[in-house]
Structure 1
Amino acid sequence: MRRKHQEIEMTSPTIVLYPSPGMGHLVAMVELGKFILHHHPSLSITVLISPPSFNTGSTMDYVRHISATVPSISFHHLPTISLDLLSFPSMEAVIFELLHLSNPHVRSALASLPASAFIVDFFCTSSLPIAAEFHIPTYFFLTSGACVLAFFTYLPVIHNSTTESFKDMNRLLHIPGLPPIPSSDMMRPMLDRTWSEYQNFLNFSNEIPNSAGLIVNTFESLEPKPLQAIREGKCNPGGNTPPVFCVGPLLNTENQRGEYNEVECLKWLDKQPSKSVVYICFGSLGLLSAAQLRELAVGQERSGKRFLWVVRSPPTEDKSRRFLKPPEPDMEELLPEGFVVRTWERGMVVKSWAPQVAVLGNAAVGGFVTHCGWNSILEAVCAGVPMAAWPIYAEQHYNRVVLVEDMKVAVRVVEDEEEGFVSAEEVERRVVELMEGAEEVRREVEKKRVEAREAMAKGGSSVAALRKMVDLWTSALCS
């Protein structure tokens, strides 16, 4: 009855987006909403927000900014859920529990919203039965690439073929459409199949065939092999594979230089020679130990290369604060004595944050030492900046294999196998390679830069994929 009543009253389809609270996930989902409205302004977009009680980056500031600058996107704030953070082993476990406990509020929201489609982050899988109650077609949105979607689509095959955890396998995984992935490079929250995070991600994998479609923040020519494998059913042999829509690269690129024109690091970059600066940043949540920060500083200084480095405080040893925002870094305490003074003519260290899209788009930047988060990868590709791949958490080790072995847009930073520590010698070696050599990487990333722009232009593959989705939504409304 609700759906019939809603269809009579609706003048245009309303699309409800439900992101994970993590900054990278939220930004990508909002950019999807902006992309939809740019090409199909008659649609209505509502974003469900689960307010986090833990550090997810500056998400609430970002939501306020979007509310003020993009009034056509409305935000529906779900009630705050209180969690005992000390009882959770990982950030992923916290997020899954928050979203699970938010389900009654999601049900109330969907009951009040005339939703024609429900687009959910893969962390929000537990909300699928709610959408089914209201007969709302549900699409998964992958804030990671098609390489990650290929893995999740194939995960049930791996899971049912062994009782071993990834951490114990010590072998290469052969996932259709991808280069061989060492089991030790599997996504960090999934290394042990007894963990709750593993079970939640497996639940997502099992629900993939039941969705109306799979939306991926990528473009066709960036990941042709995994996309072909998924669409041909090789990742889900004998099962249903929903349609895959590549709608990327979705990036927050609007007014990047104008908005941050007075930021000191951009003024500094403007004074540097073309492609002479290596940009070092490990994402909004990537933290290095104090010892690793000092080692990185030593290696960077030895390289002799110009640099812009975003430094954050190390992970806290206080367990009560491990999921909270870290304090502002004390450079004198964290970096080697005299480092800032010795390198001031060719380097700049900034505290905690830099406008990354604007930085990567600056002509002075010629390389990017990155944690391999998907948003950062796309930002580098769109700027044509080659990468040195230094993963820290989540799916980043997995991404590194694909970046280096398949896409060939990055060089690999090699860490100690036991401790995961990167030596000063390795930092120096990879920075020099990135800035002086890596010619194949430089050619490939420039090629992908052009293709990314074409995908998002009029008549491009990502615009065409969006058109197909919108046609599905409007045809369902009329039927």
Structure 2
Amino acid sequence: MTAKTFVLYPSLGVGHLNPMVELAKHLRRRGIGVVVAVIDPPDNDAASAEATARLAAANPSITFRILPAPSSPDVGAHPVKRSHDTLRLAKPVLREFLRSLPAVDALLLDMFCVDALDVAAELAIPAYFFFSSGAGALAVLLHLPYYYPTVPSFREMGKEALLRFPGMPPIRAVDMVATVQDKESDPTKVRLYQFKRMTEGRGVLVNSFDWLEPNALKALAAGICVPDKPTPRVYCIGPLIDARKKGTSGGERHACLPWLDSQPRQSVVFLCFGSKGAFSEPQLKEIARGLESSGHRFLWAVRSPPEEQITSPEPDLERLLPAGFLERTKDRGMVAKKWVPQAEVVQHEAVGAFVTHCGWNSTLEAIMAGLPMICWPLYAEQATNKVFMVEEMKIAVPLDGYEEGGLVMAQEVEAKVRLVMETEEGRKLRERLVQTRDMALDAVKEGGSSEVAFDEFMTDLENPLH
């Protein structure tokens, strides 16, 4: 049997590219040929081109193709609408590219690339979605086009109003996806269109594992999230994460790693907020005060405040943090500018807690390291992830005060750090995470649920009856 070739089609931006590459590596390990087709409009950020080049160099067995495509002509539109328009306008470019390949056995689409379904149908290529977040978020988003028309805008409901979705714990209105808070807005209309069309795919590959999200998977399998048509089959094939151990990423080790080597086991609180996570100067000062008064060791990745990032990408720590903070905490804390190798840090045995923005990739990395989390969601579906992590999976505790751009106070930072690092509740959280890590490892080994699900997806692909 000749090897299959899959084309992976990520949405715009680095955040969508990285999970797709983890999927590509997974496919390559199974002997499947992979082409990652990256749309590059003229106004796309340079970071995406850099990231593509870096990923291509690091993964020589995966083919990357940059497809130059027109940008959205609507220059003043919301970024969600512009991105959607650009992907729609890229359809002819994608069509020509797919036609140029000797064979394409499947098209694996990012959740926002729904208009590519038209190209797949035209060329008779089976199209599946890859959903890089959890099954809980998928269940909520697939139901949203049916739920939202019957209620007011989430923004108008009052932040404590509880929303009820099939099979899910109640979600506060303020914790719903940031881009759908106002139902009359362009971004909401785009998202509802995308979530509705996702059901046209032949199936959805989800970066999660069965044991972690049984209620969401039950609701999806029962078809109650999508009331008016069949729900595509969901295959949990995760966790797909970059599982490199420390020291294997080549080149110099980041300065934080030798520092961690010298710290006691599970003694360090790690704070890191993803590629876009940046705070105002007042908020940085509150975090610093909370860490200092907690008395715990910490490693903290700090970016310049959002409004300063273009003029001063390197944060001026002396100015941004409280006077004397760096000096007073130098024996037990390390502040890193901009970036740390998160995948290696969370696996380090000195780390005992992780203050995170609840990006799904970061959540899975922490699960694979058995690391308790303190949740500080910032954008996208992170606040929704937080609800599942705290209420359903019981692998995290939430910080209070972040909602609607509010300040999280120093006392709150200190209280949650102490809770995880010092209390009985923190000990139970740690035990739960050891169990969760063991179940994740079970899922991805031979005969585990994620491996079985992947085999079922491959069998479905062979099925001509769709």
Q: Does the 8 Å contact 2:266/2:351 carry over to 1?
A: yes
What residue ranges of structure 2 are gaps of 5+ in the alignment?
Answer: none
Alignment partner of 1:258 is 2:244: no
2:360 is matched with which residue?
A: 374
Report the CA distance shift for 1:329/1:106 in structure 2 as closer, same or farther (over 3 A): same
2:86 is matched with which residue?
A: 98
Q: TM-score, normalised by structure 2?
A: 0.93
1:47 is matched with which residue?
A: 36
Residue identity matched to 1:421: L
Alignment partner of 1:292 is 2:280: no
Q: Partners in 1 of 2:63 and 2:416 — Cα distance?
A: 44
Alignment partner of 1:185 is 2:192: no
Determine which structure has greater relative contact order: mean sequence separation of CA pairs < 8 Å that are 6+ residues apart, divided by chain length: 1
Alignment partner of 1:341 is 2:327: yes
Aligned with 2:421 (options 414, 431, 435): 435
Q: Does the 8 Å contact 2:42/2:68 carry over to 1?
A: no
Q: CA deviation at 1:11?
A: 3.8
2:408 is matched with which residue?
A: 422
Report the CA distance shift for 1:138/1:316 in structure 2 as closer, same or farther (over 3 A): same
- Equivalence map 1:133-152=2 (5 Å): 133-152=122-141
Q: CA deviation at 1:388?
A: 0.4
1:127 is matched with which residue?
A: 116
Alignment partner of 1:302 is 2:293: yes
Report the CA distance shift for 1:166/1:389 in structure 2 as closer, same or farther (over 3 A): same
Q: CA deviation at 1:65?
A: 3.4
Residue identity matched to 1:21: L
Q: Does the 8 Å contact 2:11/2:17 carry over to 1?
A: yes
2:218 is matched with which residue?
A: 228
Secondary structure at 1:286's aligned position in 2? coil
Q: CA deviation at 1:472?
A: 2.8
Q: Partners in 2 of 1:430 and 1:301 — Cα distance?
A: 13
Alignment partner of 1:401 is 2:387: yes
Q: Partners in 2 of 1:225 and 1:444 — Cα distance?
A: 18
Q: Partners in 1 of 2:459 and 2:236 — Cα distance?
A: 15
What residue ranges of structure 1 are gaps of 5+ in the alignment?
Answer: 1-9
Alignment partner of 1:460 is 2:451: no
1:77 is matched with which residue?
A: 66
Post-superposition CA distance 1:235-264 (Å, at most 9, x none): 122420111111110111235432266211
Secondary structure at 2:112's aligned position in 1? helix
1:28 is matched with which residue?
A: 19
Q: CA deviation at 1:294?
A: 1.2
- Equivalence map 1:265-284=2 (5 Å): 265-284=256-275
Residue identity matched to 1:286: G
2:350 is matched with which residue?
A: 364
1:176 is matched with which residue?
A: 166
Alignment partner of 1:194 is 2:184: yes
Residue identity matched to 2:194: F
Post-superposition CA distance 1:323-353 (Å, at most 9, x none): x797121212211122111111000011111
Report the CA distance shift for 1:155/1:36 in structure 2 as closer, same or farther (over 3 A): same
Post-superposition CA distance 1:425-449 (Å, at most 9, x none): 1111111112112223212111111
Q: CA RMSD in A?
A: 2.3
Post-superposition CA distance 1:123-178 (Å, at most 9, x none): 1112211111111111111111101100112112202323x211113321111121
Alignment partner of 1:157 is 2:143: no
Q: CA deviation at 1:85?
A: 9.4
Residue identity matched to 2:133: S
Q: Partners in 1 of 2:446 and 2:404 — Cα distance?
A: 49
1:205 is matched with which residue?
A: 195
Q: CA deviation at 1:359?
A: 0.2
Alignment partner of 1:392 is 2:383: no
Q: Does the 8 Å contact 1:256/1:355 carry over to 2?
A: no
Q: Does the 8 Å contact 1:121/1:142 carry over to 2?
A: yes
Q: Does the 8 Å contact 2:244/2:343 carry over to 1?
A: no
2:105 is matched with which residue?
A: 116
Q: Partners in 2 of 1:345 and 1:256 — Cα distance?
A: 23
23-32 or 375-384, which deviates more: 23-32
Q: Partners in 1 of 2:263 and 2:374 — Cα distance?
A: 21
Residue identity matched to 2:226: N
Q: Partners in 2 of 1:350 and 1:111 — Cα distance?
A: 47
Q: Partners in 1 of 2:42 and 2:372 — Cα distance?
A: 36
Q: Partners in 2 of 1:156 and 1:237 — Cα distance?
A: 10
Q: Partners in 2 of 1:268 and 1:95 — Cα distance?
A: 41
Q: TM-score, normalised by structure 1?
A: 0.90
Secondary structure at 1:49's aligned position in 2? strand
Q: Partners in 1 of 2:311 and 2:208 — Cα distance?
A: 30
Q: Partners in 2 of 1:53 and 1:345 — Cα distance?
A: 48
> How many residues are paired up?
460
Q: CA deviation at 1:84?
A: 7.9
Q: Partners in 2 of 1:378 and 1:137 — Cα distance?
A: 28
Residue identity matched to 2:213: E
